[in-house]
Amino acid sequence: MDPPVSVTSHPRRRLTTSLPLASILIPPKPPPNPNPTTTSPSSAAAATATATATSSLRSPVRIEAMSSDDEVREEKELDLSSSDVVTKYKDAADIINMSLCKPKAKIVDICEKGDSYIREQTGNIYKNVKRKIERGVAFPTCVSVNNTVCHFSPLATDEAVLEENDMVKIDMGCHIDGFIAVVAHTHVIHDGAVTGKAADVLAAANTAAEVALRLVRPGKKNKDVTEAIQKVAAAYDCKIVEGVLSHQLKQFVIDGNKVVLSVSNADTKVDDAEFEENEVYAIDIVTSTGEGKPKLLDEKQTTIYKRAVDKNYHLKMKASRFIFSEISQKFPIMPFTARALEEKRARLGLVECMNHELLQPYPVLHEKPGDLVAHIKFTVLLLPSGSQRVTSHSLQELQPTKSIEDNAEIKAWLALGTKTKKKSGGKKKKGKKGDAAEAVPMEEGSNDANKE
């Protein structure tokens, strides 16, 4: 496919800032270990909980008035066959590959500063182009703790703080010109190796993510991934959380129609689908030490919404019309947090908008008290050279009680490569560095979950 019309291509770059996200989220601390893959026990207390980046529009939607060139551009669905699209996905991924937390940090402060960091960084790039490029937060920063599964992004008045030994899940998303990188990572606020049930559930999530990475490839089907990740979780005596969907990503579409279901059962089914070259997916893995059947406990905790563009209704209340107009102007497509709205009117206006299905809510779900939930989400590009994971982060040292050493099926999945084999008979081209994800299976490396 030809490159997009009227878009200036940019070379691949590593984004930098004079004030890194780590120094925004917590007070200044001594420089980190220059080798992030070998965290010493003494530094683990301030270890990063990095969000490594994760929903239904049917086609790309423009936010601005389109010129004749843009209209031509919109006739073609942009995908990874365009090098400019690949660059934008990777630039978005660069921005969200950093985050950090520590005890006594207020959860709402982390959420606000995470979003501010994304806005700041995306605002610094793609300035000198021929047309305006939309960019910013694709999914608000969420910090969900212990048995809270997802989507906890509280209002400014919330006083919740992180505590020692909390299992913290950070989830966020960024987009450049509608090309989205979404991410989630789990970190235990703990000095030293993570042990016991916490290590089991984290190892289960990470190993399932590594297996999924190797199975999300052209020719494989979504049901192959669903079956495999459930087997991985069972090997660690954990459950894959029901109701989680891994979506295909497209320009301005965070929840594409092609999905991978976390758990297939009689009540929840999706259409069979085959992965294809030049597609992009947000692979969402959530594991639990409990039953894996989360519940909505309090609707008031819901603060993240997305406009339902296929719904229309003439709102009666003035506050509702004001809020919906604000949403339509500021967040016409991407999910947003209620913190970004005018607070007093939002309380009343959101209710009527929800009652008439003008907004899609992202509810805060919980497992039972005492259960632990781990969340790993990453963005993967199905390039001609192979499956490339563009959002990732190393784990803490894990010492789980379970091992997959004797599980031949899981070991075989982990042994699969992520690069696409070249067809014989043609001249081989030298691949560029980083063309395929160099994921490290759980059985290898310094963060081996199964070391005794």
Q: pLDDT digits over 407-417, tens only? A: 999 999 999 98
Q: What is the pLDDT of residue 348?
A: 84
φ, ψ at 92 (rounded to 5°):
-65, -40
Tokens of 395: 């784990």
Q: Quick one: pLDDT at residue 27?
A: 35
Mean pLDDT of the chain: 80
Q: How far apart are CA 322 and CA 336, in angstroms?
A: 16
Spans of all domains in the chain: 83-296+366-415, 303-362
Decide if 83-296+366-415 and 303-362 have a common fold: no
User: Which two structure tokens, joined as six digits, stand for 320?
Assistant: 């509702």
% the chain with pLDDT above 70: 75
Task: Report helix, strand or coil for 22.
Answer: helix
Task: Give 172-222 pLDDT, tens digit per residue.
Answer: 999 999 999 999 999 999 889 999 999 999 999 999 999 999 999 999 999
Task: Decide if pLDDT at 446 tops 90.
Answer: no
Round to whole Å and give the CA distance between 393 and 37.
Answer: 9
Does position 29 have pLDDT exceeding 70, yes or no?
no
Residue that is written with structure tokens 């991978």 in the block: 260
Per the confidence metrics, is the pTM higher than 0.85?
no
Q: Can you say how many angstroms the Cα of residue 155 is from the centroid of all Cα atoms in its chain?
A: 21
Q: What angle do CA 37, 284, 198 make, to 5 degrees?
A: 55
Give residue 269's pLDDT: 83
pLDDT band at residue 99 under the 50/70/90 scheme: low
Residue 267 CB coordination number (10 Å): 8
Strands 398-399 and 194-195: parallel
* Mean pLDDT value of segment 320-331: 94
Residues recorded for the chain: 452
Q: Are 103 and 163 in contact (CB under 8 A)?
A: yes
The class (CATH top level) of 303-362 is mainly alpha
What is the mean pLDDT of the segment spanning 242-247? 95
Q: What is the pLDDT of residue 76?
A: 66
β-strand partners of 287: 240, 374
Strand, helix or coil for residue 305 = strand
What does the pLDDT read at residue 266?
77
Report the range of poorest mean pLDDT among 44-53, 116-125, 210-219: 44-53
Output the pLDDT for position 101. Answer: 62
- Helix and strand numbers, DSSP H then E, in the chain: 9, 17
pLDDT the model gives residue 98: 65
Q: What is the CATH number assigned to the segment(s) 83-296+366-415?
A: 3.90.230.10
First to last CA, the chain: 51
Least confident of 224-238, 312-326, 343-357: 343-357
Beta-sheet pairing, 295-296 with 336-337: unpaired
Q: Model confidence over 337-380: pLDDT tens digits?
A: 999 998 778 888 999 999 999 999 999 999 999 999 999 999 99
Residues 92/121, Cβ–Cβ less than 8 Å: no
Label residue 58 by pLDDT band (50, 70, 90): very low
